[in-house]
Amino acid sequence: MLAVGAVVRNAGFLLVVKRGMPPEAGRWSLPGGKVEVGETIRQAVVRELREETGLDGTCGDLVGWVERIGPGTHFVILDFAVEVQGVEVQGVEASPGDDAAEVAWVELGEVGSLDLVSGLEAFLREHGVIPGGEHSDGARV
């Protein structure tokens, strides 16, 4: 199953959603979900962001991808950088929708203290989204 995620950073904060449904309900993740038949990957990123947070954004470059294989499931998730249009983080009114139970802006240095979905913290560090990771060339972030 092909899925997407939105990596939204603004003024030192990362936008996260608390999952309202399985898998990993009750844990924090990036806004995102399955790509629907007939839509492009970038359209799916923008749609999922709007459905889960009420925010509109512009899909940018690919940040990275992961595979999640579980009982009866196999997801390939492509995470893209997204810029939220025309807002400052302190003025953003995000509201949970679809399968998101909560929405929050979290300081980049505090993201690792959340109860994140499996593998997300390592992914965010490895790709330089939050501090403390290592790039594939071994350089510290």
By annotation, the residues acting in catalysis are 102
Q: What is the DSSP letter of 24?
A: S
Lookup result for tokens 């997407």: 4
Q: Which two tokens stand for residue 83?
A: 């810029």
Q: Which two tokens stand for residue 135?
A: 């790039």
Cα separation, 2 vs 76, whole angstroms: 5
